[in-house]
Structure 1
Amino acid sequence: MRILVPLLACLALLTAPPAFAAKKEGVSMPDTVEVAGQKLVLNGLGVREATVFNVNVYVAGLYLPQKVSSSMVILATDQPWRIVLSFVRDVEKDKLVDAWKEGFGHQKGDHTAGLATLNKAMVDMKEKDTMVFTYVPGTGTTVEVKGANKGTIAGADFAKALLGIWLGSHPPNEGLKKGML
């Protein structure tokens, strides 16, 4: 009996699922999250690179109800999703606002009101800070910055445009899109 208990404890540790499914650039993200009572799985991790020197800016994790490798399928499906941005370097608010303006400029439709709301939520980001976007059909896209809920932007069109920044035809960099898929 004295041997059985430690043996069972070791066996339990060996068969326990990992707490984190993926790690990239020193950033770990859980393999699942819960959104509106639904379990979402980590689809992939990508790295946002900037400038001609390919400086790493953040690691982006995409969560979906099930893994999907086609950006067209993801963008055409009205389903819950979450994107987590974990910054690996400091980024000023003004640079974030400029990046959103450029990203939404590549999307179809008028997203002026949603973009204005998103830009109001922006602050200077430091290394290890997070920004989280969570879309729930019928509710909208909730924006969380550094752990603080900054509000929800209504509309499936806005959510699709936001998701299209990373998964559309003009992502910030191809490696980011490829990693998220």
Structure 2
Amino acid sequence: MKYPVRLLFSGIIALGSSLAIAKDIAGVNIEEVVNLSLGGQELRLKGTAISNSQARQSTYVGGLYLQNDAQSVQDILSNTGAKRFVLYCQNSSIKPEALIRALNLGFIANHSEQEFAALEPMVNQFNQIWHDEIHEGDKVWIDFLPEQGTVVTINGNQKGIIPGKDFYDAFLKTWLGEKPINAEMKKQLLGQ
């Protein structure tokens, strides 16, 4: 059977680029470089993290992408470029109420009462996005696009937008702040 040269060439390029810019983390293929939009700025992987609970035998893989590299949490938060936080549910499911509870605790722990009061309407909007369980194999992208704000996408389907930068910074603090959801994951996301 003959294949058109263009089709073969495209397949070789796709294979080569996926090998060159992806790595396997706990069975999840994590790209080293992503574009948040067609022709958009490239974001580079800062760090990947694995949450592995032996008691529940569950594994979640996270990754943090930055448009402009930063060395400290403060640098990441003050950076106005695009960002992406990814969460892959590797071998179990996450119930929406468990995800909301963990994130809300992270918001409260990393902000003063006054800061949280200002964020609360945005946190409530974010909580409304999580109606369904996240299942094994699901991919969650939480992006910051400077012209839009926080954009949540699950398996390629956009679920909601929260305008502005304040919410995204608050979300990142749940993972990277002084009292992160998971201290070991914080180190890994920062590439330490």
User: TM-score interval w.r.t. the shorter chain?
Assistant: 0.7 to 0.9
* Structure 2 gap ranges (5+): 1-8
Seen in structure 2, the aligned counterparts of structure 1 residues 68 and 136 have a Cα distance that, compared at 3 Å, is same
- Pair 1:105-2:114 in alignment: no
Counterpart in the other structure of 1:120: 128
Q: Output aligned runs, 1:17-36, within 5 Å.
A: 17=17, 18-36=19-37
**Aligned amino acid, residue 128 of structure 2:** K
SS in 1 for 2:110: coil
- Pair 1:63-2:65 in alignment: yes
Q: Distance in 2 between matches of 1:35 and 1:77?
A: 17
Q: Distance in 1 between matches of 2:101 and 2:43?
A: 30
- Pair 1:156-2:165 in alignment: yes
Give the TM-score normalised by the residue count of structure 1: 0.82
The alignment covers a number of residue pairs equal to 169
- Pair 1:171-2:180 in alignment: yes
CA contact (8 A) 2:60 2:87 kept: yes
* Structure 1 gap ranges (5+): 1-8
- Pair 1:86-2:88 in alignment: yes
Offset at residue 105 of structure 1 (A): 0.8
CA-atom RMSD in angstroms:
2.4
SS in 2 for 1:111: helix
Counterpart in the other structure of 2:74: 72
**Aligned amino acid, residue 162 of structure 2:** I
Q: Distance in 2 between matches of 1:49 and 1:170?
A: 19
Seen in structure 2, the aligned counterparts of structure 1 residues 58 and 149 have a Cα distance that, compared at 3 Å, is same
Normalized per residue, which structure has more helix?
Answer: 2
Give the TM-score normalised by the residue count of structure 2: 0.78
